[in-house]
């Protein structure tokens, strides 16, 4: 960028008779010659009375245009394509500048199946605040989308955000329903504390409608030796459909977590209290499944806190506590007393090539009922690692958990287990790694799958992974999962993944991922997926990008979404190309098949 005259603005810089381009050639592919350009660093660039030159020829005069440096939106970029619900389409955007604090763009969509759509995006700035207003209408007003976003700074470091979103049969936003979202947020952050309040109202009107309201207040306070966290969560869920409207279910949770560091350890207080705000307004509203702490207090002490000489060689953690718990359903409301000991990070060498790293836990709980109920639980794990020669490692692991007594609470239930597992790993530290695992569930007398995996590097840029497992209990093979990769970096990466059922002799899935720099000017991406059981293509997407030096031109095709487009983008803004690798439901198309382990 250059200009004949530069001067300062309250928040930026002004250039007159400016020449703007992102092309670094001596004779730029394109150049914008503007009577005036105002630059607000980190916010926006606004140009007035601009002539657009391409390859030395003047092709267009624009009264004004802008680039939003925060949103990183491209200024005037038409988009053309075809999809299954609009047919062929052409999207156009014309920008306007009312003043530096009020600017935007008028949108015009020409579609084959849905007619003409018009919309406007307006960006505004007010003292200590900014926002965006968006409106779009199509199909003679039966389809529309309205959105307002505003952020406002208030005194005392308070920040307020407001968002409203209303849609009616809006295919433009890929949600064909009547939807109203209202979101409000207030936050304040200081050196030692933070406060945040959010409130949301979501109304979805269709054959089966929902009307949900939620609010959340969070406060965190930090001091040198402790913290205080408070959270209040309110929710209201209402539904209606088929001529029936149910009473709304309203709940309020209050949660407190307080921690104080003492010489003997860390003292903790927890309170989780629920209030049924609507007071059993309808049959079944009294049903609730959850746990309340009213309250719970416990002290966690490390071995170093207690400084007991007898335990210096045994890395331990001790927890003692009391709590008054209310568990629903069942109306179980009792005191609980707890003692817990944990063995941590114990490392026992058993020779030069063998190492044992046991962990253990012992827990004793007492309950304040008339029967003086108590529950004793213990568990331990014995992992034994042994190096067998220079390339082979054996990992043998025994784990068990047992209990005696009874607990009136479901959350304290102990599920006994006893397992033994073994894995053998071969790694020549060059191009081959293999792993064989297996084990047995001693508690229930069942074998774990015998699983094998091999990773092979045929060459620095060619790798293969094979994984398969055998079900010893039912005497059948699991799927054989394969992945092949050819990576001629940085020019090409090609992944081929398959899943094959050896028991049924059937190919289940095939997926591909190709990233290929064909020439310095051309780039190709391909995603493919095939269902071998249904014998149909799941997805097939191509993206071809042509480097125009300072611009990119992209052509995109999606078999799944029936979508084609032609898109231009200014490389300096590094905008993402829309749509590629995204399924019809908004999910990321995954080309991996998953391995047994």
CATH of residue 556's domain is 2.40.128
Is 574 within a domain? yes
Average pLDDT over residues 187-199: 96
Cβ contact 134:117 at 8 Å: no
Q: How far is CA 406 from the centre of its chain?
A: 40
Cβ contact 376:390 at 8 Å: no
pTM exceeding 0.85: no
Of the candidate ranges 206-210, 374-378, 541-545, the one whose mean pLDDT is the lowest: 206-210
Is 577 within a domain? yes
Report CA-CA distances (Å) from 129 to 80, 117, 150, 186, 197: 35, 30, 7, 14, 19
Domain of residue 19, residue span: 1-70
Distance of alpha carbon 396 from alpha carbon 251, whole angstroms: 49
Distance of alpha carbon 501 from alpha carbon 374, whole angstroms: 50
Render pLDDT for 166-183 as a digit per residue (tens, 0 to 9): 888 776 544 445 667 889
Distance of alpha carbon 207 from alpha carbon 177, whole angstroms: 10
Cβ contact 360:383 at 8 Å: no
Is 564 within a domain? yes
Is 596 within a domain? yes
Cβ contact 435:565 at 8 Å: no
Distance of alpha carbon 535 from alpha carbon 470, whole angstroms: 26
Q: Where among 16, 40, 70 does a domain terminate?
A: 70
Residue written as token pair 């050819």: 486
Q: Where among 70, 102, 122 does a domain terminate?
A: 70
Distance of alpha carbon 21 from alpha carbon 3, whole angstroms: 12
Residues of the chain above pLDDT 90, percent:
59
Residue 84 in tokens: 């299954």
pLDDT band at 310 (very low <50, low <70, confident <90, very high): low
pLDDT at 557 over 50: yes
Distance of alpha carbon 588 from alpha carbon 264, whole angstroms: 50
Is 151 within a domain? no
pLDDT at 335 over 90: yes
The vertex-184 CA angle with 181 and 188, nearest 5°, equals 155
The secondary structure element, H or E, covering residue 304 is helix 303-306
Is 404 within a domain? no
On the question of a cis peptide bond just before residue 21, with omega within 30 degrees of 0, the verdict is: no
Is 15 within a domain? yes
Is 548 within a domain? yes
What Rg value do the Cα atoms of the chain yield, rounded?
32
Of the candidate ranges 289-293, 379-383, 392-396, 572-576, the one whose mean pLDDT is the lowest: 572-576
pLDDT at 77 over 80: no
Residue 270 in tokens: 């927890």
Distance of alpha carbon 11 from alpha carbon 327, whole angstroms: 58
Distance of alpha carbon 126 from alpha carbon 369, whole angstroms: 63
Total domains, the chain: 2
Q: Where among 70, 101, 123 does a domain terminate?
A: 70
Q: What is the pLDDT of residue 242?
A: 67
pLDDT at 13 over 80: yes
């Amino acid at each position: 960028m250059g200009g004949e005259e530069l001067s300062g603005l309250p928040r930026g810089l002004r250039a007159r008779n400016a020449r703007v381009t992102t092309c670094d050639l001596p004779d730029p592919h394109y150049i914008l010659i503007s009577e005036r350009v105002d630059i607000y660093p980190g916010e926006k660039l606004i140009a007035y009375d601009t002539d657009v030159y391409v390859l030395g020829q003047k092709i267009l005069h624009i009264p004004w245009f802008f680039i939003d440096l925060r949103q990183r939106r491209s200024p005037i970029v038409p988009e053309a394509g075809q999809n299954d619900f609009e047919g062929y389409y052409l999207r156009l955007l014309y920008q306007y500048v009312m003043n530096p604090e009020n600017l935007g763009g008028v949108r015009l969509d020409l579609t084959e199946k849905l007619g003409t759509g018009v919309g406007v995006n307006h960006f505004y700035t007010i003292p200590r605040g900014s926002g965006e207003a968006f409106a779009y209408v199509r199909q003679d007003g039966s389809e529309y989308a309205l959105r307002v976003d505003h952020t406002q700074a208030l005194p005392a470091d308070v920040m307020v955000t407001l968002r409203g979103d209303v849609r009616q049969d809006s295919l433009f936003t890929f949600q064909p329903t009547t939807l109203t979202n209202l979101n409000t947020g207030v936050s304040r952050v200081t050196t030692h504390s933070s406060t945040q309040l959010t409130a949301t109202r979501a109304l979805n009107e269709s054959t089966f409608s929902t009307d949900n309201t939620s609010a959340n207040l969070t406060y965190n306070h930090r001091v040198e030796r402790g913290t205080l966290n408070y959270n209040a969560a309110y929710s209201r869920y209402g539904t209606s459909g088929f001529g029936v409207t149910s009473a709304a279910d309203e709940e309020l949770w209050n949660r407190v977590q307080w921690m104080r560091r003492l010489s003997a350890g860390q003292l903790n207080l927890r309170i989780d209290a629920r209030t049924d705000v609507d007071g059993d307004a309808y049959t079944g509203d009294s049903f609730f499944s959850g746990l309340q702490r009213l309250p719970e207090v416990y002290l966690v002490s490390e071995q170093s806190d207690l400084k007991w000489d007898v335990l210096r060689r045994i890395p331990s953690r001790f927890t003692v506590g009391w709590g008054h718990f209310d568990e629903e359903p069942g109306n179980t409301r009792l005191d609980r007393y707890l003692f817990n000991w944990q063995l941590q990070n114990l490392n026992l060498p058993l020779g030069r090539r063998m190492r044992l790293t046991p962990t253990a836990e012992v827990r004793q709980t007492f309950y304040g009922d008339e029967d003086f109920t108590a529950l004793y639980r213990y568990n331990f794990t014995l992992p034994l690692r042994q190096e067998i020669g220079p390339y082979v490692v054996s990992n043998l692991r025994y784990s068990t958990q047992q209990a005696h007594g009874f607990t009136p609470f479901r959350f304290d239930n102990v599920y006994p287990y006893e397992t033994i597992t073994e894995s053998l790993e071969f790694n020549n530290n060059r191009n081959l790694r293999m792993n064989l695992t297996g084990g047995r569930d001693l508690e229930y007398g069942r074998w774990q799958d015998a699983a094998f995996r091999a990773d092979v590097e045929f060459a620095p840029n060619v790798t293969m992974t094979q994984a398969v497992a055998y079900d010893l209990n039912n005497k059948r093979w699991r799927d054989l999962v394969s992945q092949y990769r050819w990576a001629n970096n940085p020019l090409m990466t090609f992944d081929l993944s398959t899943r094959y059922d050896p028991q049924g002799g059937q190919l289940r899935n095939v997926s591909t991922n190709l990233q290929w720099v064909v020439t310095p000017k051309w780039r190709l991406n391909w995603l493919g997926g095939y269902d071998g059981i249904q014998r149909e293509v799941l997805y097939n997407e191509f993206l071809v990008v042509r480097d125009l030096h300072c611009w990119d031109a992209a052509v995109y095709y999606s078999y799944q979404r029936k979508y084609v487009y032609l898109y231009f983008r200014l490389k300096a803004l590094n905008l993402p190309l829309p749509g590629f690798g995204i399924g019809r439901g908004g999910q990321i198309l995954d080309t991996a098949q998953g391995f047994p382990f």
